[in-house]
Amino acid sequence: MDGSRPILQVQGLSAAFFTRRGVVRAVNDVSFSLAAGQTLGVVGESGCGKSATAMAILRALPFPGRLTGGKVLFEGEDLLAKSEPEMQRIRGRRIGMIPQDPTASLNPVMTAGKHIIEVLQVHLGMSHAEARERAAELLHTVGIPEPELRLHAYPHQLSGGMRQRLMIAMAIACRPAALIADEPTTALDATVQAQILELLRSLCAQLGTATMLITHNLGVVAGLCDTVLIMYAGRVVEQAATEELFARPRHPYTVGLLRCVPRVDQVGLAELWSIPGQPPDLIKPLPGCAFAPRCPLSSDECWEALPPLAPQGGTGHLCACWHADEVEGLKTWKLQESLG
Ligand SMILES: Nc1ncnc2c1ncn2[C@@H]1O[C@H](COP(=O)(O)OP(=O)(O)O)[C@@H](O)[C@H]1O
Ligand code: SF4
Ligand SMILES: [Mg+2]
C-alpha cells in the first residue's frame, strides 16, 4: 500500500438540480484529493450537499441533477469522460458505496448470501460456487457470526447493525480502491454505531482503501478520518487534517459543529447544543457568505462578497471566512454566548 498515491482527485466539482422551482446549486467548486489508505470525512448539516457531492463523483445524481463543472480523476482516469457502461463497471467494483439506510438498499426477497453472490458474479465473473464461498468469508470479515447460516437469512431476519455489516460486505466484495460511505451509521444506536465505524476503519486500513466518510456529526470523524472537509450550503468552508481542525477550527460554522458534539467529560454540565437557524435555500444563494445570517462574527463585507477558500498557515488548512483570524482567538463559550 502506498499511502501517498492519489486515488480520487476532485477538482472544482459543481452540480445542480434543475427543478421547477429553480436551480438548486447543491455542489459548488468542491476540490479534494484522497490517497490510498486515507479517510476523508465530509461533514455538514442536512442539505449542505454531502450526498450530492458523492453522487456527482459517481456520476449517479438522481433526476433532475446534473454535473455543471469540474473534474473527477479516479486512479488517474477522468470519470467525466467515461460512458455509462464504463461507469457501471466502476461503481460497485472499483468504487464501493455504503448508503445511509441499508433497509432501502437491500432486496427484501433476497437472502444475505444472494446479495453478495450477485455482486461477485456481476463484477468479477465468479462461478456460483466460488462466489458462495467468498460470500461466507466476507460475512465473517465484517463480523457476522455463523456466516454459513446467515447466508440464508433474509434482510428482515437481521438486526440493523447486521444489515449495515452486510452492506459493508457488499461494498468491499470486489476490493474497491475507493469507498464512499454516506452516513453509514445514522440509523443505528450509539453502541452499534461505534462498532460499525471501527469495522470500517480497520477494513479500510487493512485493504488500503481510500475512503470518503459522509456524516452530519463531527464527533464521528475524530479518530477515524485523516482529513476533514466541512461543507455548508453546497460549498467547502473549511478543510484540514483532523487534528488540526479540532485543535484550531477557523470557520465559525466548524466551531458551531464542534459545539454540537457531545463530550463525555461534560455530561451533566452542558446541554447538547445546536447552531441557531437553518441552512439557506440553495436556489437563491446570497451574494456574500452563506453563513452570514447565522454567524456571530458577520460584518458588512460578509454579506456582500463570497469569502474564498484560502490557506491558513502552512499546514494545508483551508478556510472560507473573512474573519478566520478572529475565530481562532475566540473562546468557544464566548462564541456560544454571542450565538445564543
Ligand atoms: N433529487 C433532488 N431534487 C432536487 N433537489 C435535490 C435533490 N436531492 C437533493 N436536492 C437538494 O440538494 C441540496 C443538497 O442535498 P444533499 O446533497 O442531499 O444534502 P446532504 O447530503 O448534505 O444532506 C439540498 O438543498 C437538497 O434539497
Ligand atoms: S465570512 Fe463572515 S459571515 Fe461568513 S463565516 Fe466568516 S465571519 Fe461569518
Ligand atoms: Mg445526505
User: Can you give 243-306 as a three-state secondary structure string?
Assistant: HHHHHCCCCHHHHHHHHCCCCHHHCCCCCCCCCCCCCCCCCCCCCCCCCHHHCCCCCHHHHHCC
Cα 205 to middle of ligand 1, angstroms: 31
- Judge whether residue 308 has pLDDT over 80: yes
Give domain status of residue 10, yes or no: no
Give domain status of residue 74, yes or no: no
Of 31, 13, 27, whose CA–CA distance to 69 is shortest? 13
Task: For residue range 49-60, list pLDDT tens digits in order.
Answer: 999 999 999 999
- Judge whether residue 272 has pLDDT over 60: no
Contact 14, 68 (CB under 8 A): yes
| Domain carrying residue 313 | 249-340
Give domain status of residue 38, yes or no: no
Query: Cell triple for residue 19?
Result: 427543478
- Judge whether residue 111 has pLDDT over 90: yes
Task: For residue range 208-258, list pLDDT tens digits in order.
Answer: 999 999 999 898 898 899 999 999 999 999 999 999 999 999 999 999 898
Cα 292 to middle of ligand 2, angstroms: 6
Mean pLDDT, residues 257-266: 68
* Choice between 273 and 103, residue whose per-residue pLDDT is larger: 103
Of 36, 29, 13, 81, whose CA–CA distance to 290 is shortest? 29
Give domain status of residue 164, yes or no: no
**What residue's CA is closest to ligand 1, atom 14?**
49
Q: Is the CB of 307 under 6 A from ligand 2?
A: yes
pLDDT-based confidence at residue 339 (cuts at 50, 70, 90): very low
Give the ligand 2 atom nearest the CA of 301: 2
Give the up-direction half-sphere exposure of residue 123: CA atoms within 13 A in the CB hemisphere.
24
| Test site for ligand 2: of 253, 291, 294, most ligand atoms within 8 A of the Cβ | 291
Give the ligand 2 atom nearest the CA of 292: 3
Greatest mean pLDDT among 103-107, 259-263, 307-311 lies in 307-311
Mean pLDDT, residues 147-166: 95
Of the candidate ranges 240-244, 245-249, 299-303, 334-338, the one whose mean pLDDT is the lowest: 334-338
Per-residue pLDDT, 43: 97
Q: Is the CB of 48 under 6 A from ligand 2?
A: no
Per-residue pLDDT, 303: 97
Distance CA 201, CA 225 (A): 9
Cα 253 to middle of ligand 2, angstroms: 8
DSSP state, residue 91: B
Task: For residue range 59-89, list pLDDT tens digits in order.
Answer: 999 999 999 999 999 999 999 999 999 999 9
Order the strands of the 65-74 sheet from edge to edge.
22-35, 6-19, 65-74, 77-78
Give the ligand 1 atom nearest the CA of 281: 25
Q: Is the CB of 49 under 6 A from ligand 2?
A: no
Q: Is the CB of 291 under 6 A from ligand 2?
A: yes
Indicate the average pLDDT of the chain: 90
Q: Is the CB of 232 under 6 A from ligand 2?
A: no
- Judge whether residue 104 has pLDDT over 70: yes
* Choice between 204 and 1, residue whose per-residue pLDDT is larger: 204
* Choice between 269 and 51, residue whose per-residue pLDDT is larger: 51
Cα 186 to middle of ligand 3, angstroms: 10
Count up the domains in the chain and report the number: 1
Q: Is the CB of 256 under 6 A from ligand 2?
A: no
- What percentage of the chain carries pLDDT values higher than 70? 92
Phi, psi of 105 (to 5 degrees): -100, -10
Give domain status of residue 158, yes or no: no
**What residue's CA is closest to ligand 2, atom 3?**
292
Give domain status of residue 256, yes or no: yes
Give domain status of residue 181, yes or no: no
pLDDT-based confidence at residue 176 (cuts at 50, 70, 90): very high
Per-residue pLDDT, 268: 45
Per-residue pLDDT, 333: 43
Cα 277 to middle of ligand 3, angstroms: 19
- Judge whether residue 338 has pLDDT over 80: no
Per-residue pLDDT, 273: 60
Give domain status of residue 124, yes or no: no
Of the candidate ranges 83-92, 189-198, 282-291, the one whose mean pLDDT is the lowest: 189-198
Give the ligand 2 atom nearest the CA of 290: 4
